[in-house]
Amino acid sequence: MAQLSPQLKQATPVVATHGEGVYLYDDAGNRHLDFTAGIGVTSTGHCHPKVVAAAQEQVGTLIHGQYTTIMHKPLQQLTARLGEVLPSGLDSLFFANSGSEAAEAALRLVRQATGRPNIVVFQGGFHGRTVAAASLTTSGTKFRAGFSPLMGGVVVSPFPNPSHYRAYGWDAEQATDFALRELDLVLQTQSNPADTAAFLVEPVLGEGGYIPGTERFFAGLRERADEHGILLVVDEVQTGFGRTGRFWGQEHFGLKPDVQMFAKGIASGFPISGIAASQEVMAKAWPGSQGGTYGANAVACAAALATLDVIKEEGLVANSAARGEQLKAGLQRIGQRHSQVIDVHGLGLMVSVEFADSAGNPDGAAAAAVHKKAAENGLLLLTNGMYGQNVRFIPALVVTEAQVDDALSIWEKTLDAVL
Ligand code: PLP
């Protein structure tokens, strides 16, 4: 009998039969509180009726129209709608199917637009799993090891990560000073600005541990980008569409991108992603240099339009902020009772609990044990962090106050059992 390849390591034994809101149901009749949301994808919850209706209607109308052959209505409408929510000036859009493809598209664009080879990325960033996206990724060796030679022209500079620099006694501000000084050194010694096409950064490190950047760090990137004609690419694949309690993660920091990537929460589970840039920047890439068979699938576009409606009508950005505060406060309160819980960090509904051993070192084993036990107790979570030392919470943005309380009680019981 055929089996899934062993590289797909399933974190839980759950075989889901259906989903509704923040719940998943399995083939043994169990209900699970899903605080993974398909890794931040099902933003409006599983099978939101409006998204289901929009997709069903589109399936019966036009499923696929290849976008370099013909235009279709849902793509026209989605382009216009995204224009209303994207930062002003980023009004030229390209669509693909996944976050990794958005990274590839951004890479192609910035190299062509500047004629320069290098991309400076920031330690702990995750941008996907294709070989080019993996080359831009520094959040764990599992994403890179054994694939060499990876793409050249990638230079890594520090991210102001207080979780990592805690060992030096640095806070976010001190980590910011260090990161900016190191970036200057990188531009001086490794990636001459005249060879640097772009800085590529996440507003909040995702796979890297739910570590928000700082306003001063991003202002420093903007300043250096402007000074040297370097393009600033902001990866909003995980942080976009209300996830952080603002529509875009960048809004917390006054961060202004030249190129923006988006995916995940845009279409409640349908695969669609893209990049946005100014018309001026986009026009510098060669016609025909972006494309694909499936990009901007008509059903995915219809689902994205319905998702944007639901986010607006149900006030999901504000809910993400409020429920995120509730979740973070509850996790902090519960964490105080356990010495292995050393921090709770994140923004909005992307929150991580960080574990360390008695010597203060990142404790991936504790995070894995807690994650497993939580799943047995009916709460589906994920891990993250460069050492796998965090358990992360990333529920659908429709999660209610009572559901957050339920998750917190399961979490409390889980920590009591494991630690
Ligand atoms: N960029 C960020 C910030 C992500 O979090 C992810 C996925 O987790 C990606 C890119 C890659 O997206 P995908 O898995 O859809 O290729």
Count of domains for the chain? 2
Q: State pLDDT tens for residues 332-366.
A: 999 999 999 999 999 999 999 999 999 999 999 99
Distance 316 CA to ligand 1 centre (A): 21
| Claim to verify: residue 159 and residue 284 sit in the same structural domain | yes
Q: Find the CATH number of the domain harbouring 113.
A: 3.40.640.10
What's the confidence (pLDDT) of residue 12?
87
| Claim to verify: residue 223 and residue 185 sit in the same structural domain | yes
Task: Collect the ranges in the chain with pLDDT lower than 70.
Answer: none
Query: CB of 127 closer than 6 A to ligand 1?
Result: yes
Give the end of a domain, one of 286, 313, 340. 313
* Residue 209 burial (10 A CB sphere; 0-12, 13-18, 19+): buried
Instruction: Evaluate whether residue 11 is within a structural domain.
Output: no
| Claim to verify: residue 295 and residue 339 sit in the same structural domain | no
What's the confidence (pLDDT) of residue 95?
98
pTM score, whole prediction: 0.98
Instruction: Evaluate whether residue 304 is within a structural domain.
Output: yes
Query: CB of 208 closer than 6 A to ligand 1?
Result: no
| Claim to verify: residue 65 and residue 26 sit in the same structural domain | no
154-157 and 196-201 strand pairing: unpaired
| Claim to verify: residue 293 and residue 348 sit in the same structural domain | no
What's the confidence (pLDDT) of residue 161?
96
- Ligand 1 atom nearest residue 39's Cα: 8
CA distance 70 to 72: 7
Distance 99 CA to ligand 1 centre (A): 4
| Claim to verify: residue 288 and residue 345 sit in the same structural domain | no
What's the confidence (pLDDT) of residue 207?
97
Instruction: Evaluate whether residue 260 is within a structural domain.
Output: yes
What's the confidence (pLDDT) of residue 11?
86
Domain span at residue 23 reads 16-44+315-418
| Claim to verify: residue 218 and residue 357 sit in the same structural domain | no
Give the end of a domain, one of 289, 313, 337. 313
What's the confidence (pLDDT) of residue 9?
82
| Claim to verify: residue 147 and residue 240 sit in the same structural domain | yes
Q: 3-state SS of the chain: helix, strand, coil percent to 5?
A: 40, 20, 40
Outline where 212-315 has alpha helix (H). 215-228, 279-282, 298-313
Contact 110, 132 (CB under 8 A): no
What's the confidence (pLDDT) of residue 235?
99
Q: Find the CATH number of the domain harbouring 406.
A: 3.90.1150.10
Distance 100 CA to ligand 1 centre (A): 6
| Claim to verify: residue 267 and residue 343 sit in the same structural domain | no
Whole-angstrom CA distances from 410 to 24, 33, 157, 372 are 16, 10, 39, 12
With the most atoms of ligand 1 within 8 angstroms of its CB, the residue from 97, 107, 127 to mutate is 127
Give the end of a domain, one of 253, 279, 313. 313
Instruction: Evaluate whether residue 210 is within a structural domain.
Output: yes
